[in-house]
């Protein structure tokens, strides 16, 4: 068996009853996959060895036109404070906005007529946003600008990828060296009609300059680490829910998630369910839930979610890949001690809508084993032969000392300053979760992360979610281990 087929078969997910018969194009109609070969030989790449060549498939946009998507203002980002009595209603209405956009995008991808989509979408959004304003008005003072967030626009994928800079806010400073070589491949084929990714979303990692810098560790720093082993989702636990952003709403994410840790996690899991749930973690005192969008091979083969919510119905197709390795490590602060996390603390790193929202909250990064001093935020890496794809999610390490969540799921936590390593005023340092997920996939632009359909499977939309369900005694041990400078597991 050849190298590519060996990798593909070994790393398929364990979804039962897999159907690998229909092509993705048949499922998605006008938004379906159209695959072409993208092959860069040594002459085209400055004499690089065959190991660095592009061997897999890229996705070509029909008709040679650039892909477009629908961009709507993110109402959730404008809600830093929602009274507890209004939280459930607001969450449901925010999820309704996502569903409306998903339906409108599907119509647009099929018909390509913005005039028949954007107007009706605005009329759907108007009463939903008014419901949010009314819910806030009953319990407090609503933001004044919600009414200006009704209209949506069309966004062109001008270069096959969101041309952002480094990866900010990860406790490390990164320069713009990744721009070198990013245009490679953009003229070798483009993304599928309306859904992506495009060839320009990929870059050869060997062409990227090292760009990772960490704050200098100061006297009194907490230098230890605590690693928890929760497997690689060998259990095949997937769902398209998002219990943090859209609690109580099925298919709130409109893309499929990998889960490790707590096995009870779905849209309807409350704190009590999580506290009593089974866990895949070796230490049964860790019932935390760790999840992220699945990675799929874009090879025309389908999982059994090809006609399901979160899967084919939301334009996420291809073989889900089981990670080769998942590392969950908690680290300390470069400037002082850490305090134990509160139980049921919820943290999201990255932005699932970064392609349309912009990169202010984008944070997940991509690299290759052997090249992890070179991190990419807005490009997928093309790894040389023998190297594996790496996704890294570095979570916020500062907590406001009061809240386990916030209305926009961001303001109760913060990143330390990337230069000094210090938390913002009023915040305290907590153990910093770093999730490292490794995949043994064929080299080349033949994979994509699941996303909201209108986000075109862009790498910049990658994100990770975490709910702390450590036993309180174990979490105190985690903090002590880190503060004492030890390496614990």
pLDDT for 419-463, tens place per residue?
999 999 999 999 999 999 999 999 889 999 999 999 999 999 999
Task: Classify the C-alpha dihedral 304-309-310-316 as positive or negative.
Answer: positive
What is the chain's alpha carbon radius of gyration, rounded to the nearest angstrom?
A: 22
* Parallel/antiparallel/unpaired status of strands 365-368 and 389-394: antiparallel
Indicate the angle between helix axes 84-111 and 115-139, nearest 10 degrees.
180
Contacts of 351 (CB under 8 A, 6+ apart): 357, 359, 360, 361, 362, 363, 461, 463
Query: Which is higher by pLDDT, 82 or 438?
Result: 438
Q: What is the mean pLDDT of the chain?
A: 82
Question: DSSP secondary-structure letter at 342?
Answer: P
Tally Cβ neighbours within 10 Å of residue 418.
18
Res 162 pLDDT > 90:
no
Separate counts of helices (H) and strands (E) for the chain: 7, 25
The confidence score (pLDDT) of residue 227 equals 98
Query: Which is higher by pLDDT, 192 or 246?
Result: 246
Which residue ranges make up each domain of the chain? 3-67+157-488
Q: Confidence class of residue 345 from pLDDT cuts 50, 70 and 90?
A: very high
Q: Confidence class of residue 209 from pLDDT cuts 50, 70 and 90?
A: very high
Tell me the pTM.
0.83
Instruction: Check if the beta carbon of residue 192 is closer than 8 Å to that of residue 60.
Output: yes
Query: What residues pair up with 350 in beta bridges, in sequence order?
Result: 463
First to last CA, the chain: 38
DSSP string, 266-303: STT--HHHHHTS-B-SSSTTB--EEEEE-EEE-SS---
Q: Confidence class of residue 68 from pLDDT cuts 50, 70 and 90?
A: confident
Res 371 pLDDT > 80:
yes
Q: Confidence class of residue 80 from pLDDT cuts 50, 70 and 90?
A: confident
Q: Mean of the pLDDT values across residues 17-41?
A: 29
Nearest to 354 by CA among 293, 311, 439: 293
Helix (H) or strand (E) holding 94: helix 84-111
- How far apart are alpha carbons 337 and 482 in whole angstroms? 8
* Parallel/antiparallel/unpaired status of strands 225-228 and 487-488: parallel
Res 35 pLDDT > 60:
no
Res 50 pLDDT > 80:
no
Tally Cβ neighbours within 10 Å of residue 113.
10
Res 173 pLDDT > 90:
no
DSSP string, 444-461: SS-EEE---GGGTT-GGG
- How far apart are alpha carbons 58 and 238 in whole angstroms? 26
Q: Is 355 helix (H, G, I), strand (E, B) or coil?
A: helix
**Cβ-based burial of 276 (10 A; exposed 0-12, middle 13-18, buried ≥19):** exposed
DSSP string, 194-227: TT---GGGEEEGGGSPP-EE-PPPPTT----EEE
The confidence score (pLDDT) of residue 228 equals 98
Place of tokens 């209405």: 93
Helix (H) or strand (E) holding 464: strand 463-467
The confidence score (pLDDT) of residue 441 equals 95
Q: Mean of the pLDDT values across residues 248-253?
A: 97
Helix (H) or strand (E) holding 57: strand 57-59
Helix (H) or strand (E) holding 151: none
Res 245 pLDDT > 50:
yes
Weakest-pLDDT range from 77-81, 341-345, 410-414 = 77-81
């Amino acid at each position: 068996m050849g190298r590519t087929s060996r990798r593909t078969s070994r790393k398929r997910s364990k979804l039962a009853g897999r159907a690998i018969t229909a092509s993705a194009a048949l499922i998605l109609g006008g938004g379906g996959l159209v695959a072409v070969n993208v092959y860069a030989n040594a002459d085209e790449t400055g004499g690089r060895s065959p190991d660095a060549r592009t061997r897999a498939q890229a996705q070509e946009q029909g008709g040679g036109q650039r892909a477009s998507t629908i961009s709507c203002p993110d109402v959730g980002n404008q809600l830093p404070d929602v009274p507890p009595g209004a939280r459930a209603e607001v969450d449901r209405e925010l999820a309704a906005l996502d569903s409306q956009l998903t339906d409108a995008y599907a119509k647009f991808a099929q018909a390509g007529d913005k005039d028949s989509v954007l107007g009706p979408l605005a009329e759907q959004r108007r009463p939903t946003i008014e419901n949010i304003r009314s819910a806030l008005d009953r319990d407090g003072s609503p933001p004044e600008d919600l009414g200006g967030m009704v209209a949506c626009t069309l966004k062109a994928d001008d270069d096959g990828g969101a041309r952002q800079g480094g990866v900010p806010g990860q406790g490390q400073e990164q320069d713009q060296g990744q721009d070198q070589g990013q245009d490679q491949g953009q003229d070798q084929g483009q993304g599928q009609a309306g859904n992506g990714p495009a060839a320009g979303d990929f870059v050869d990692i060997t062409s990227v300059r090292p760009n990772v810098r960490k704050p200098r560790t100061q006297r009194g720093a907490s230098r230890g680490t605590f690693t928890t082993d929760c497997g690689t989702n060998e259990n095949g636990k997937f769902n398209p829910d998002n219990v943090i952003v859209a609690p109580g709403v099925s298919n709130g994410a409109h893309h499929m998630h990998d889960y490790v840790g707590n096995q009870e996690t779905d849209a309807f899991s409350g704190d009590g369910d999580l506290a009593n749930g089974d866990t895949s973690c070796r230490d049964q005192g860790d019932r935390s839930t760790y999840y992220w969008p699945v990675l799929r091979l874009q090879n025309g083969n389908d999982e059994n979610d090809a006609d399901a919510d979160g899967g084919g119905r939301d334009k996420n197709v291809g073989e889900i890949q089981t990670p080769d390795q998942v590392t969950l490590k908690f680290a300390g602060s470069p400037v002082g001690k850490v305090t134990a996390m509160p139980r049921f603390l919820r943290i999201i790193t990255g932005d699932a809508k970064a392609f349309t929202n912009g990169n202010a909250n984008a944070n997940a990064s991509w690299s290759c084993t052997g090249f992890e001093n070179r991190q990419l935020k807005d490009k997928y890496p093309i790894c040389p032969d023998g190297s594996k794809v790496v996704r890294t999610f570095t979570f916020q390490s500062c907590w406001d000392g009061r809240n386990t969540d916030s209305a926009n799921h961001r303001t109760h936590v913060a990143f330390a300053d990337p230069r000094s390593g210090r938390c913002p005023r009023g915040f305290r340092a907590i153990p910093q979760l770093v999730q490292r997920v490794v995949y043994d996939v064929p080299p080349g632009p033949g994979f994509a992360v699941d996303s909201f359909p209108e986000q075109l499977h862009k790498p910049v939309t990658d994100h990770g979610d975490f709910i702390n369900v450590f036993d309180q005694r174990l979490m105190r041990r985690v903090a002590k281990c880190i503060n004492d400078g030890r390496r614990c597991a």
